Amino acid sequence: MKRYTLALAMLTGLMFLTTNSTLASEAEISIRANQGKYKINKEIYGQFAEHLGTCIYGGLWVGKDSPIPNINGYRTDVVEALQRLRVPVLRWPGGCFADDYHWMDGIGPQSERPSMRNNNWGGTVEDNSFGTHEFLNLCELLGCEPYISGNVGSGTVREMAQWVEYMTGTTDTPMGRLRQQNGREKPWHVKYFGIGNEAWGCGGNMTPEYYSNEFRRYNTYLRDQPGNRLYRIASGASDYDYNWTRVLMRAIGRRMDALSVHYYTIKNWGHKGKATAFSDEEYYLTVEKCLDVENVVRRHCQIMDETDPDKRIALFVDEWGTWWDEEPGTVPGHLYQQNSVRDAIVAALMLNVYHKYVERVRMANIAQMVNVLQAMILTDQKDKGHMVLTPTYHVFEMYRDFQEAIHLPLDIQCDSLSTVEGKKVPSISASAARKDDGTMVLSLVNTNLAEKCDLNIQLNATAKEVSGRILTGDHITDFNDFSHTDVVKPQEFKDAKLKKDAMHLTLPPKSIVVLHVK
């Protein structure tokens, strides 16, 4: 096996080390097919839609009178694309926007709703035409669970309690009657409710001790309505803030059903870098930062285990993804970025990590669904509108059969690379699961930009047939746009060969393969 070191040419005077793609490394994977215990919750494939840029307006929602084809105001092309993903849960209205959002501004006749300025994201004027009814009806259209983020930062206990009653209460309650007057008699089912967002930052700049007391106070008045029990989520830490988790676990404990953590793949907040113009060195540093999510998740889990060894409280990674510089010419503060093969690899790697910790990690929400950060879909509103599926969308579509499957542990022996910071990047990532019908789903990622990898896989289970697809590009910087929509898209993968309970295949450089083994 070969090991390579990445070196910055500007520092050493040497060219970045590349290899001919005809060369190959080797790797061994052994799947412990009889040791699967835990289900991969479908909510790990959750989405996030904030009132930010054109995620909502122009992305999900265009209004009933728009020339863009729509279903009661929701973009038809976007809805149909999201339905193919089997979206399990959708978080809304933020993000930072949630702690400036007052829900009563977003109900009643749309023409009579007051406007507001989105102070967090570009100062854009928000007309509140997309509110509670529009969001919950969208969730019903997509067949997914709603996840509401409540306003602790600038809201009140009464306001939040009334919102819960408005959404889930019967019509013999004051808020239930108001909902009925606004056109919805039957209560919605709302399972997931977040008590604040990023309370340590844009959600109030609180200490963990202060937030714990606020959670307990707000939580007291969030009463379950008939037929609807809230799953209560505490505003958790930003990546490496382990003290936040420790304090909340001791001060809130089982009053919460889940604790969140946010993790963005950013090496330098002051210089995030371009989404589609980056060096090989920047790519490998991105992979290293991405994979560090495992250390973060593991440490938060260990801290939670100290007071909750039975793992009754879940860990939700309810914001995650890449974050690059905004595209030139777009509105500052709207966080519109392109999405390349690099982003697809980040998505696949992180999903593989979440699968390993499903005993505790039961939801994850990528940021964000449309037109913002690591989006599934990019849209515009010219003429009748254009839509493009990003490489990240294709990863979520290829991985969808992992939802509700039983995670199978595995062991990997593979080459590693060293980044310019001296950290190791494994060349191969993998995850395996067993569906109800006995089919094994196997995801494989080759992070190496230059070398293909000869993989020998011990399935440790009888296999008769295999099929699969591959996602890659000619270049790691390849992406899809409105003029070139299929530069990066899944293709059939035929290289996997079965032999009794083993399989061999060659994994191309910078590629993602998902196999179904029967």
Structure-token pair, residue 60: 């999900």
Tell me: cis bond preceding 95? Omega within 30 of 0 counts. Answer: yes
Q: Which one of 134, 198, 214, 397 is the catalytic residue?
A: 198
Q: Which one of 134, 145, 319, 397 is the catalytic residue?
A: 319
Structure-token pair, residue 461: 């289970």
Cβ atoms 35, 356 nearer than 8 A:
no
For the question of residue 28 being annotated catalytic, the response is no
Question: Phi, psi at residue 302, to the nearest 5°?
Answer: -60, -40
Structure-token pair, residue 104: 């009563």
Contacts 24+ apart (CB under 8 A), 182-186: 182/107, 182/108, 182/133, 183/133, 184/133
User: Cα(293)–Cα(131) distance, rounded to whole angstroms?
Assistant: 33
User: Cα(67)–Cα(295) distance, rounded to whole angstroms?
Assistant: 48
For the question of residue 319 being annotated catalytic, the response is yes
DSSP state of 154: S
CB atoms within 10 A of CB 460: 16
Q: Which H or E element spans position 223?
A: none
Name the CA radius of gyration of the chain, rounded. Answer: 23
| Listed residue (390, 265, 391, 274) closest to 324, CA to CA | 274
* E strands in 323-438: 361-367, 377-380, 386-389, 406-408, 410-413, 416-418, 424-426, 428-434
Letter for the amino acid at 262?
A: H
Catalytic residues: 198, 319
